Amino acid sequence: MKIEVRNGNVEKALRVMKKKMKKEGVFQEIKDRQYFQKPSEKKRLAKKQRLVNIKKAERLRRNFL
């Protein structure tokens, strides 16, 4: 990942970096690895997240049609 600092504006570069890291899932990965999760718990959380994503996509589709 490469972040360019323009005109010495480090604060803006940090915001851009954090946004890119969040989009790539780096923060979620760190959070997930902080504690051990049983495989069954991982599956349950993945299923829950899938349902949230489906509902969100459905809501967006309904708004644009």
| Angle at CA of residue 21, ends 14 and 33, nearest 5° | 125
What pLDDT sits at residue 57?
Answer: 95
Long-range contacts of 22-30 (CB under 8 A, 24+ apart): none
Cα-atom radius of gyration of the chain, to the nearest Å?
Answer: 17
Q: What is the pLDDT of residues 21-62, one digit of tens each?
A: 999 999 999 998 999 999 999 999 999 999 999 999 999 999
